[in-house]
Structure 1
Amino acid sequence: MRSRLTTLAIGTAALVAAGLVAPGTAGAITGGTEDLANRYSNVGLILFYDDGVRYRCTATLVQPDVLLTAGHCTFGTSGGTIVTFDPDVARTPTEAAAEIPTAADPALGFQPGDLGADDGEWRIGTASTHPAYSDFTDLDNWNDVGVVQLAEPVAGITPASIADRGALDEVAQPALNKTAVTVVGYGTEVRKPVAGPQKPTPMSYPIVRRYTDAIGQKLTPQILQTNGNENDNRAGGGSCFGDSGGPSFLDGDIVTVTSYGRTDNCRYIDGLQRVDIGVVQDWLATFGVTPAA
């Protein structure tokens, strides 16, 4: 989990400590649109603890009681993982302190009792990581996929569907550079600070759901690499810290989850873990998650 903080090129989870997202470690879908219409209602914000520190990622409801996310958002976590599907979680540190739950004992992580009566929009579950997740050590066997099994099924939200096996192979080069996937996540925006050097920087707030289109650049057996440049006239922007585990959709189905980025200001190259491949789909099937018929 340390790689999400010290190596910005690997993993895109965001730190949430003491009710705040640490500046410089969080970001958002660059060039994205706030999901004010709740278009992606099955995409949620997840929170979890590791070594006493609270983090956040993005996840998607793929069964009434199963969330799909990145492996680095489930690997080595303490206690439970909680989720909300609110598209507008907090716009200021004050709102975050009031709206975002904390664990009574950070070393133990979230426990069911940490969600009080006023936290009705939050649900708790148990995280699992793909058994072949390489923790960013093996490019040929990345497998950056995880799930969260919720204690109770979610009512009133239609789960998203997983793409058929090999769906991305249908848009390999040269079609890839003309194909956009829709990336969704809860990272915060990259913008110029109010004071100091006016360099676009990942900011901590607001914590809201956003989406954008990203153009395919390279496809490997494990990874879809996209161009995360918001100035690309072929599409929108890309993903950033806090968007980890969030889905990308192609023709309405999930084809990837956000895995990593290559720059500390969330520009240019994004790495998205494919979920349309056998090694991932065979594992997801053990949780009852299979491609749409």
Structure 2
Amino acid sequence: MIQQFIRLAAVATALAATQSTFAMVGGGGAPSPAVGNAVVTIVGSRGTSCTGTLIARDIILTAAHCIAPGTTYKIVDYKSRPPRLLDIRRTASHPQFNMQNLLAHRATADVALLQLASPLATQPETLGGALLPVTAGQRLTVIGMGVAVAGDGRSGGVARAASLAVTGRPGTLQIRLVDPATDNARAGLGACTGDSGAPAFLDSSGGPVIAGVVSWSTGPNNASGCGGLTGVTPLALYRDWILKTARGWGAGI
């Protein structure tokens, strides 16, 4: 396991050295430091990589499918040179998460928390209210640490943003996002490998708040891949569980 993390640290170093100005798969703008600094990379001892967001100094919000039993997780600190791996004290996935539903792109409780062994100085982000209104055509900003070029792992490892439009009939169970410039007909902006668990921000009167986390993506015309639809699990039904779990770990949230 130690050797696995050594390899992951080497990959993190390579990623930091090849940071791209592109945002998410397909290109785009970089996030503002106000929100981008709280978005992190989560690596697992089995070679997995996801995105998470600090919602307290020592609490990271991500997707439940990013957390597997019997796996050790760490956070990559890209602010250090070379990047270092930060220890995770414990993890928790929502008890109602169902992997089969997720694989079928059906709604499920795809949310999880990780607690850092030591708190960070980074300013955490704010969770949205339990009943945030989300309507078709509305814009959400997704910020992920995944790849900018599908299949090219070296293009990941830096926060990238995409302003995506809500499509279909959004509700409290699932939100589907699309690049309005391509409308799922051809490759555009969207979540890709390594963006699972990424925050989807909604602008509010008090500033951006986290409305959901990325659960899945498709290629154009709903094919496999990236650049088509981005599936987001909204936090409306799971906010109480998030707060209860984090506070049970002693977090001031």
2:57 aligns with 64
1:217 aligns with 167
User: Is 244-253 or 134-143 further displaced after alignment?
Assistant: 134-143
Relative to structure 1, is the Cα distance of residues 86 and 17 closer, same or farther in structure 2, using a 3 angstrom cutoff? closer
CA–CA distance in 1 between the matches of 2:74 and 2:154? 20
Structure 1 residue 39, shift from structure 2 partner: 4.8
Structure 1 residue 166, shift from structure 2 partner: 1.3
CA–CA distance in 2 between the matches of 1:45 and 1:183? 14
Runs (5+) with no aligned partner, structure 2: 1-6, 13-22, 248-252
1:171 aligned partner, one-letter code: V
What TM-score does the superposition give when structure 1 sets the normalisation length?
Answer: 0.65
CA–CA distance in 1 between the matches of 2:9 and 2:76? 19
Query: Superposition pairs for residues 37-48 of structure 1, below 5 Å?
Result: 39-48=35-44
Q: 4+ residue runs of structure 1 moved beyond 3 angstroms?
A: 16-21, 27-30, 34-39, 138-141, 228-232
Give deviations 1:169-215, integer Å, cap 9, x for gaps. x232xxx21x110100111112xxxxxxxxxx432113221111011
User: Is 134-143 or 249-258 further displaced after alignment?
Assistant: 134-143
Structure 1 residue 99, shift from structure 2 partner: 4.8
Q: Match for 1:86 among 46, 58, 78?
A: 78
Q: Match for 2:139 among 180, 188, 204?
A: 180
What TM-score does the superposition give when structure 2 sets the normalisation length?
Answer: 0.74
2:174 aligned partner, one-letter code: I
Structure scoring higher RCO (CA < 8 A, sep ≥ 6) equals 1
2:43 aligned partner, one-letter code: L
Query: Superposition pairs for residues 91-170 of structure 1, below 5 Å?
Result: 99=82, 119=84, 122-137=86-101, 142-155=108-121, 157-167=122-132, 170=133
CA–CA distance in 2 between the matches of 1:77 and 1:180? 37
How many residue pairs end up in the alignment?
Answer: 216
Matched, 1:283 2:217: no
CA–CA distance in 1 between the matches of 2:35 and 2:130? 25
1:272 aligned partner, one-letter code: V
Q: Match for 2:209 among 249, 253, 266?
A: 253
CA–CA distance in 1 between the matches of 2:160 and 2:240? 30
1:56 aligned partner, one-letter code: S
Residues 183 and 246, structure 1, Cα contact 8 Å, conserved in 2: yes
Relative to structure 1, is the Cα distance of residues 83 and 282 closer, same or farther in structure 2, using a 3 angstrom cutoff? same
Structure 1 residue 34, shift from structure 2 partner: 3.8
CA–CA distance in 2 between the matches of 1:217 and 1:85? 34
CA–CA distance in 2 between the matches of 1:246 and 1:129? 15
Relative to structure 1, is the Cα distance of residues 181 and 54 closer, same or farther in structure 2, using a 3 angstrom cutoff? same
Relative to structure 1, is the Cα distance of residues 163 and 38 closer, same or farther in structure 2, using a 3 angstrom cutoff? closer
Residues 107 and 233, structure 2, Cα contact 8 Å, conserved in 1: no
1:24 aligns with none
Structure 1 residue 84, shift from structure 2 partner: 3.0
1:82 aligned partner, one-letter code: K
Q: Match for 1:202 among 151, 154, 169?
A: 151
Runs (5+) with no aligned partner, structure 1: 1-15, 22-26, 90-97, 101-118, 191-200
Structure 1 residue 37, shift from structure 2 partner: 5.1
Relative to structure 1, is the Cα distance of residues 140 and 58 closer, same or farther in structure 2, using a 3 angstrom cutoff? closer
Residues 29 and 243, structure 1, Cα contact 8 Å, conserved in 2: no
Relative to structure 1, is the Cα distance of residues 129 and 288 closer, same or farther in structure 2, using a 3 angstrom cutoff? closer
| Other structure's SS at 2:175 match | strand
